[in-house]
Structure 1
Amino acid sequence: MSVPLPALCEGCRCTAARAPVETVPGNGPAAAILAHGQPGDPGALQPELEALAAQVQALLPGWRIHGATLACRRSLAALHGVGLVYPHFMADGWFVRSETPRRLALAGVEGVRLTAPLGLDPGLPALGAAVARETAAAAGIDPATATLVVVGHGSGKSRAPARAARAFAEALAPAAGFAAVTVGFIEEPPFLADVLPEGPAVCLPFFATGGEHVTADIPQGWRGQGPIAPPIGTTAGVAALIAATLRAAMAEEAPQD
């Protein structure tokens, strides 16, 4: 059955021209990587999600992987026919548990199963430690003499975002090799602007995409105290984590002899 996509929003930079999954030829599993996006600019992050989806699909021959955001109704409407949705979020909070199912239902996307989100992936701390060390090395900083500041979103309403960021920071600390590891937040204390490490420092954004918090709020709060690593959700290695999660989720659905 053909399901037409909504028209592009005026001025949209969306590059997601794919048809709904159920209209795409192929018998392999269909899945989607779903991020929050930017409500004020729905198409801004869609190219980033599409590129990530292509990387994951290259690791899963025979699969069909789509990228979508909650902010882009066109990308959501293209998910008809997916069986699995990977939440490209950093916490298992309200957006994953409540808002994602609601938005999918409004788009007419039903019968999907959500995996655990990126921020809870047990392989993410090791990846974060490597990214932090690489960022320090590129700036000529010895991690053994520096502070690593993990900056998360935080929230005034839910403990889930801060809890996930703190767990990530605690888990990566032994492998990262920094003299100290601490956390700061955008929307709750301790605010990033109030985190003032002594000596060399590196900032590691615990964010899934390169949205406005990463491009504007973090540089403003960090105030040039040291290099800022790319948001962990955009780094090399994330595609492999997502592919492994989707593969494992599909294996759970396979009939057992």
Structure 2
Amino acid sequence: MSGTRSPFPTAPATEGGVLIVAHGSPSDPAPQEEALRDLAARVAAQAPGLRVGGTTLAAPGAFEKAVADLDRPLIYPFFMAKGWFVRKPLAERAQPFGLHILPPFGLEPELDAAVADAITATLDRQGWAARETGLFVAAHGSAVSQKNAETTRALAARLALRLGMGRVATGFVEQEPRLETAARDLGQALCLPFFALRSGHYSDDLPRALDAAGFTGPVLPPFIEWPATARLIARSLAARATPAEAMR
């Protein structure tokens, strides 16, 4: 918007490598801190010469320590949409250091292909035909921003078209339609959780909702556990060699 300062700085910040940042769990930050460090190590293994760190916003002081250790890194949001958490809490934490924030993981151009491959592999294991199978995409949603829902629905529509799925539905934890409602009466179907981490939403909210809906199909893991995730991030970072690609 004209006259409004962007929350994403434009100063170069490539010399310090890349810091992968997720939201994390304020009630129990340690497991997801460890998961982000492991993801960073996997990305670094596929990006020779690039320093890569990983942290969450939830662990007290962890973000600031990681920034200091890397010395002005680019920030890679391990989020599924360019929603409120990226534009507000993450931007506010990055602003004092003058750091670039790259587009989030959920907007990666190659994500569709990786997800399509995973769904195809799941269909093959089940012995199901795509045209006879429904796709249920479960996501966080938000009461304050539509970005997560918009990103989720757009992905679901692209996948349904790309794979020829028989039905597609999306449901959310924090907005309508809720997970339990959207997962009902899908028949033969599989679930794609549009979650970056193995959080409480994935481990608790989603199973409860699927049980209540009578959904019995396979459920894919959160993206941090996908073998393709580190490779996808590493390739994306290699393609963004200059700050010009940073998020506006």
| TM-score bin, normalised by smaller chain | 0.7 to 0.9
Q: Between the two proteins, what is the percent identity of the paired residues?
A: 37
What secondary structure, in the 3-state scheme, does the structure 2 residue paired with 1:193 have? helix
Q: What TM-score results when the alignment is normalised by the length of structure 1?
A: 0.81
Distance between the aligned counterparts of 2:113 and 2:86, measured in 1?
24
1:102 paired to 2:92: yes
Asked whether the equivalents of residues 147 and 197 of structure 1 are also in contact (C-alpha less than 8 Å), the reply is no
Instruction: Point out the structure with the larger helix share.
Output: 2
| 1:46 alignment counterpart | 33
Moved more, 175-184 or 185-194: 175-184
8 A contact 1:149–1:184 mirrored in 2: yes
Relative to structure 1, the CA distance from residue 233 to residue 172 in structure 2 (aligned partners, 3 Å threshold; closer, same or farther) is farther
- Pairwise CA distance, 1:204: 0.4
| Aligned counterpart for 1:182 among listed residues 169, 172, 176 | 169
Match of 2:191 among 203, 227, 230: 203
How far has the Cα of 1:78 moved from its partner?
2.1
1:58-207 → structure 2 map (5 Å cutoff):
58-76=45-63, 77-80=65-68, 81-104=71-94, 110-195=97-182, 196-207=184-195
Deviation at 1:191, TM superposition (A): 1.0
Tell me, which stretches of 5 or more residues in structure 1 are unaligned? 1-26
Cα RMSD, aligned residues only: 2.1
Alignment match, 1:228: 219
Provide the aligned length of Structure 1 versus Structure 2: 225
Q: Report the more deviating stretch, 157-166 or 132-141.
A: 132-141
**Structure number with higher relative contact order (C-alpha < 8 Å, ≥ 6 residues apart):** 2
**Aligned amino acid, residue 190 of structure 2:** V
Looking at structure 2, the residues matched to 213 and 55 of structure 1 have their Cα atoms a distance apart, in angstroms, of 24
By how many angstroms is 1:253 displaced? 5.7
TM score, norm. by length of structure 2? 0.83
**How far off its partner does 1:173 sit?**
1.9
Q: Structure 2 CA distance, aligned partners of 1:217 and 1:139?
A: 25
User: Is the alpha carbon distance of 1:42 and 1:88 closer, same or farther for their aligned partners in structure 2, counting shifts above 3 Å?
Assistant: same
Residue of structure 2 equivalent to 1:32:
19
Structure 1 runs (4+) greater than 6 angstroms displaced: none
Number of the residue aligned with 1:20 = none
One-letter code aligned to 2:48: P
